[in-house]
Amino acid sequence: TQLLEQSPQFLSIQEGENLTVYCNSSSVFSSLQWYRQEPGEGPVLLVTVVTGGEVKKLKRLTFQFGDARKDSSLHITAAQPGDTGLYLCAGKGAGSYQLTFGKGTKLSVIP
């Protein structure tokens, strides 16, 4: 079973601050995805990374896939209240149909 550990579990910051959340595993993934989930809604895909060392930017969000494809990070610059939500990482092993999800990081951005 491939496990994904996310840290921190909870994060509360002031508007305008920067933050990084982490997603780590002892397993290698062929791809890794980040989702954001708001209360009462399903997860919404933010990004997919597939190449070791890959960096993708989505406005104020920067995603990085580790060189060994075992870990990933999400960095948010100048957080805004609209960034509040549950951030989930999910990894897929080579040849697998299954996405393995981490337990998530619950982010609160205080105005």
Side-chain-side CA neighbours of residue 24 (13 Å): 5
**CB contact at 8 A, 99 and 108:** no
Interface with other proteins includes 50 (CB under 8 A)? yes
Interface with other proteins includes 36 (CB under 8 A)? no
Shortest Å distance, C-beta 59 to other proteins: 18
Interface with other proteins includes 7 (CB under 8 A)? no
Nearer to other proteins, 17 or 25 (CB): 25
Cα–Cα dist 90/34, whole Å: 6
**CB contact at 8 A, 69 and 52:** yes
**Which residues are at the interface with other proteins (CB under 8 A)?**
1, 30-31, 33, 35, 40-45, 48-50, 88, 90, 92, 94, 96-99, 101-104
